[in-house]
Every structure is written in structure tokens, then in C-alpha cells.
Amino acid sequence: MPTLVKQLRGIGGCTQPVRLDGHRVEHAVDTRTGEIGRVLHRLDSASLPAGNLLVRCNNRRATRCPACAETYRRDTFHLITAGLRGGKGTPDTVTRHPKVFATFTAPGFGPVHNRPTDRRGTVRACRCGLLHDTDDESLGTPLDPATYDYEGAVLWNAHAGMLWRRFSIYLRREIAKRAGLTQRDLADFARVSFAKVAEYQKRGAVHFHAVIRIDGPEGGDTPPPTWATADLLTDAIGAAAAHSRVDGPVVDGRPHMFTFGKQIDVRAIRSADFDGGQELTERAVASYIAKYATKGAETATGALDRPLKFLAELAQLDISDHARRLIRTAWTLGARKELEGLRLRAWAHMLGFRGHFSTKSRRYSTTLGAFRDARAEWRRAQAAVITEDEPDTTLVLSHWVFAGIGLSSAEAWLAASLEPALGTEGEPT
């Protein structure tokens, strides 16, 4: 039993590990002759306590694998933090670079139930006449589903990634303009980097939260020019977002065009040292982004976290009528030849959005892959697991075939009794 405990510990609480059959043999290589020498290490899946090699699923979704999602959340937190105040290979001078936290929403597709507030922050009645509680199921759902623009809402999600790319190009242009430079010359003085996360609003529209930072010409290692301020960045973001548009498809004679909603929220991020309780801190931003990086469309669709195979499955799901209608719309539009490229059926459970949940520009900070490599390195020292790279003095011959997913009930029971310490490493949960 202790060996099985050890093997299960190695997957860090993953409940949906990939099971592999096969072997891995590590040979010494004679560095002079290049000949294969003695066997340094041999691993056979059949000899492992679980009968298979177990590899973490690495799913970022909390609804799919809580342990792997928690790892993903922590990694994202550290990645975002590194871009805000340095660390993990990014110099801590980035803390002085101008940076903001910006939120980009979708436009309206029809009135929804909400909790409007007046100037003093008092909650007023919704247009339907009711004063909704914060946990009211109807919040975010259309006042009149018959007139709500479901087609526009799904197609907007499907084009949101493209709209963001357009925005990031315009942003560089707007920054250059404010600095009195051409767009081409901007790169000689400054770089714009970002890390963003997609989140679903209750109404089912994707919106983006992004950390946007101005660096010097070589990225985070170089100081930004003196003209680069948080105010200039804020102003440029507003202008770029207002100009961003994507011409969409024509559906049944109706031309679609996509823009961001009017409410673009941009706030400067301050270092915790200067925080008087008023400003948005680096820590708050990092934990916010990390939290949403582990979510899918659940805020709008509840438990549906995987693609549908048949539309008929929709009837079995315990989801709101609004979510059902969004999914049905995506599925129906997905049958159209001219919308093929949007792959709306494959992404119907995501309400049409097929972009990445969290993305960052190359120079923002370290990568999630770097964290995974560091962990793999550590685990390799602890036990035999698959790793990508080997020192050149060894030759690794391995052959693995897929043998299944998940744990047997006995393994699951044992794994649950281990309950990995999901404590924090200093970040808020």
C-alpha cells in the first residue's frame, strides 16, 4: 500500500489522471564512442502499484479536476504577479512601469434583469418592477427572451478573440500617436505587453480583464520612456477600444458587426506599498485573474463544461432557459456552411467563444510551461515520471499507449484520504 500512496501523491490530487501502459528505459551513453551502454533505469507500467503510469490531467477547469485547476490557478497567480512586481525571471523594476487593469465588456443584446444603483449606491428596482436579490436566478437573463438578440450574442462571443487582436494593434497605434511617433518607430522606444483572462457575464457574454503594461524597447528588462504614463496608457486604451471593430458574417441578409460595449473600465494598478486601501493593488489583480483562469462558461451555463455531441443532450441538462437558448442558437448557426470557420457546434457549450481563457504577450513575464517544467523536474527526482528532455549522456527509449482515464474506486478512495495540502503560498484564494 505505501507504494501506491507514493504513486498517487505523485499526481498531486488529480482525480482524472491519464493512465498509460508501456515502458521507459534509460541507457547510459558512452560519450566517446556514442554507444549505448548499461541500463540506468527501467520503468514498466505493469510493475507500478496502480498497474499503469499515471499522468496528471492538467485540466484548468475547477469543475473537471479541482486539484489540477488549483495548480493552474496558483501558477496563473504567480505569472500575473511576476509581470506586476517582478520575480521568476522578470526584474522587479517592472513595478515602476505604467500599468493598468482594464475590463472590456460586450455590447447589449437586449435588456436584461439587473440591480441598478443610483448615485449613492442604493439598489433600485429592475425594469421588470422587482428589486432583485444578488443571488436571484433571473439576473442577467433577458426581460423579453422573444426579442433578445441571441444570434448577435453568440456571434459576438465567436468574434471576441478577433476583436481583442484588433484592439491590441490599435492600442500600439494610439500609444504611438500620443508619443508623437509612427507606429513603426514605437518599437524602438517602447513595448506593450499584456496578460488577459476571459470571463462570462451572467448574460452569457464573454468579457476580458487585462493587465496592460508599457515597457522599454526590450520589454520588462528595460525602463519605459518618460512619456509613458498610466494616464497616457488609459487614454490610449479608451481610444483603441472605441475604434475596434470586426466586420462579421451576413446571416439571413443581416450584416453583423462587432465592437466592445461602451463601458470600458481602466484602472491604474498601484504597488501594495502605496496602497491606502483605495487603489487597486497588484495582489488583488493577480488573484482576480487567477480565479477566472480556472473557469469556463459555468457562470452562465452551470455545470455544462464539455462539448455537446447531440443537441438532444441539452434537454437533460439542469441549466437556465437563457443558457439553453444561447447553446441552441450556437448549435443551429453551426449548421450553416458560411459560418463553418467559427466551429459553433464544437464550441456551443462555450456559447460560441473558442478563444483561450488566459493569454499573455510573450514579454509579459514567465510562462505556465516554465512552472510545469520546474515541477516535472522536481517530481523526476522523487519518482519516475515522463519528462521531455534528458541530459545528452543518456538515451531514453520509451513507448506508452493510452490505457484510460481516471482512478479505480479503491485508488480514488485512497487518493481522497491523502487530500493534498491545498494551502496557499501566500496568495489570497
Give me the least distance between CB of 109 and Zn ion, in Å please.
16
Residue number with CB closer to Zn ion (134 or 226): 134
| Sites for Zn ion among residues 59-118 (CB under 5 A) | 65, 68, 113
Residue number with CB closer to Zn ion (9 or 267): 9
| Sites for Zn ion among residues 219-278 (CB under 5 A) | none
Residue number with CB closer to Zn ion (14 or 195): 14
Residue number with CB closer to Zn ion (59 or 301): 59
Give me the least distance between CB of 123 and Zn ion, in Å please.
12
CA distances from residue 93 to 18, 89, 266, 280 in whole angstroms, order as listed: 41, 12, 22, 19
Q: Which of 50, 57, 175, 289 binds Zn ion (CB under 5 A)?
A: 57
Which of these segments, 57-65, 240-248, 261-269, 274-282, binds Zn ion (CB under 5 A)? 57-65
Listed residue (174, 170, 176) closest to 235, CA to CA: 174
Residue number with CB closer to Zn ion (57 or 186): 57
Listed residue (197, 177, 193) closest to 243, CA to CA: 177
Residue number with CB closer to Zn ion (5 or 143): 143
Quick note: the x/- pattern for Zn ion over 3-32, rule CB under 5 A, is -----------x-x----------------
Which of these segments, 54-62, 203-211, 268-276, 364-372, binds Zn ion (CB under 5 A)? 54-62
Which of these segments, 38-46, 124-132, 200-208, 356-364, binds Zn ion (CB under 5 A)? 124-132
Residue number with CB closer to Zn ion (33 or 417): 417
Return d(Cα 327, Cα 353) in angstroms, integer. 11
> Binding to Zn ion by residue 126, rule CB under 5 A?
yes
Exposed, middle or buried: residue 354 (CB in 10 Å: 0-12, 13-18, 19+)?
middle
Contacting residues toward Zn ion, per CB under 5 A: 14, 16, 57, 65, 68, 113, 126, 128
